[in-house]
């Protein structure tokens, strides 16, 4: 079933409307994952019965277990989001915290799956189903679809697995159809899911797979606001670094923000000096001799939010070797002095050096984006 943006919000536990399901139709949703062992067990149960579900993932869990998210998407399930760290948004007074939580979960899923994975959706669920009119207004402005529930399986409560099955079936029988809430991180859910699926089928229920309307996910990704909280930014930077290393080791291209081919620029330096980024005005907003235009059509950078990469100053005591451009860069292009569109830090209004972290593999966790026509390539810096 296709669920367009105009149909939201849905779920009678929170709203006056729900999905236009036929009698006997059920939408299975799983919250709070992914989690090792348990989410794969849920996936196996779903695969055995040839049904698809929707997984509302938490950003911190995605950052910790990206391989499970990739498997979930690869097996054809819909990926939705459930905030960055499962914060109860209706209990948060800070709008910045609310905004970062809502956007952080989507950014994490986007980093792992990319912009164009058909599994990624603009469906969003509030932790604890706690929402306000103001939150709903912001979520709608971000082109996300609030997704509540019709039937709570209570698998998060301290009840037996058998009680979970009985409650789901009894509540479905009372409504005749609906969106069911379960949790793929709960051991009782893992234990009862095969039996629940068999009994649903025996009772004549049909599990419906919900997917976003064409273009809705892209609009939500275009509207996303990069989180400003330092802890979330650094966690996302580390996730991007690991994703880059994973793809690079397999000989592929890593494009977490756009669909353009990725380019890797290696900047050689001596000793432990850091690669510096300083605010700089773009040379021009018209194409340069290398065919680049320094305008991001989604997030146009402010003049001071354009970064140049440069070697340490001449006063540095450590000698610096010349920058080395990757073979696939255009002839004559100098990555160490080339202007670039705004980095995540710039878009958040932060110091351009704030995200520079070197992990154990030596990758500097900072990104530059260079434009070429309407596409943008991510440049990773390694010292």
Condensed to tens digits (0 to 9), the pLDDT of residues 343-363 reads 443 333 333 333 333 333 333
pTM above 0.85, yes or no: no
Q: What is the pLDDT of residue 249?
A: 83
Rounded to the nearest 10°, the torsion over CA 194, 200, 204, 206 is -80
> Given pLDDT bands bounded at 50, 70 and 90, which one contains residue 261?
very low
Condensed to tens digits (0 to 9), the pLDDT of residues 189-240 reads 999 999 999 999 999 999 999 999 999 999 999 999 999 999 999 999 999 9
Distance CA 100, CA 354 (A): 17
Stronger pLDDT, 252 or 355, i.e. the higher one: 252
Q: What is the pLDDT of residue 250?
A: 78
Q: What is the pLDDT of residue 367?
A: 38
Assess whether pLDDT exceeds 70 at residue 181: yes
Stronger pLDDT, 225 or 299, i.e. the higher one: 225
Judge residue 118's burial from the number of C-beta atoms within 10 Å of its C-beta, 0-12 exposed, 13-18 middle, 19 or more buried. middle
Condensed to tens digits (0 to 9), the pLDDT of residues 131-178 reads 999 999 999 999 999 999 999 999 999 999 999 999 999 999 999 999
Residues with catalytic roles: 31, 183
Q: What is the pLDDT of residue 59?
A: 98
Mean pLDDT, residues 301-322: 36
Strands (E), the chain: 2-3, 25-31, 54-57, 78-81, 120-124, 145-146, 151-152, 178-183, 206-207, 211-212, 263-266, 276-279, 307-310, 363-372, 375-382
What are the structural domains, with CATH classification, of the chain?
A: 2-218 (3.20.20.370), 233-382 (no CATH)
Q: What is the pLDDT of residue 61?
A: 98
């Amino acid at each position: 079933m296709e669920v367009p943006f105009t149909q939201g919000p849905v779920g009678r536990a929170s709203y006056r409307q729900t999905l236009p399901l036929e009698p006997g139709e059920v939408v299975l949703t799983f919250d709070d994952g992914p989690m090792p062992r348990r989410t794969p067990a849920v996936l196996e149960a779903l695969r055995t019965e040839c049904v698809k579900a929707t997984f509302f993932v938490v950003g911190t869990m995605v950052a910790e277990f990206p391989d499970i998210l990739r498997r979930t998407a690869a097996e054809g399930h819909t990926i939705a989001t459930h905030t960055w760290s499962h914060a109860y948004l209706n209990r948060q007074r800070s709008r910045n915290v609310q905004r970062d939580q809502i956007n952080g979960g989507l950014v994490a899923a986007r980093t792992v799956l990319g912009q164009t994975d058909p599994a990624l959706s603009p469906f969003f669920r509030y932790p604890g189903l706690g929402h306000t009119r103001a939150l709903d207004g912001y979520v709608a402005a971000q082109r996300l679809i609030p997704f509540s529930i019709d039937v709570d399986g209570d698998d998060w409560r301290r009840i037996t697995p058998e009680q979970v099955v009985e409650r789901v079936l009894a509540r479905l029988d009372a409504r005749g159809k609906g969106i069911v809430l379960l949790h793929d991180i709960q051991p009782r859910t893992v234990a009862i899911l095969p039996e629940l699926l068999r009994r649903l089928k025996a009772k004549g229920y049909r599990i419906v797979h919900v997917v976003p309307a064409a273009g809705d996910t892209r609009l939500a990704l275009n509207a996303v606001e990069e989180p400003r909280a330092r802890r979330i930014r650094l966690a996302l930077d580390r996730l991007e670094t690991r994703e880059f290393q994973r793809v690079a080791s397999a000989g592929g291209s890593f494009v977490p923000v756009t669909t353009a081919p990725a380019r890797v620029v290696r900047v050689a330096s001596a000793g432990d000096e850091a690669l510096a980024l300083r605010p700089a005005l773009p040379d021009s907003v018209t194409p340069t001799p290398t065919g680049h235009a320094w305008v991001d059509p989604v997030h146009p950078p402010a003049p001071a939010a354009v970064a140049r990469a440069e070697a340490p100053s001449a006063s540095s005591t450590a000698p610096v070797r010349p920058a080395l451009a990757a073979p696939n860069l255009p002839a004559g292009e100098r990555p160490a002095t080339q202007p670039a569109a705004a980095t995540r830090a710039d878009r958040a209004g932060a110091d351009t050096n704030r995200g520079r972290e070197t992990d154990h593999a030596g990758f500097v966790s900072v990104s530059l984006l260079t434009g070429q026509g309407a596409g943008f390539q991510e440049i990773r810096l390694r010292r």
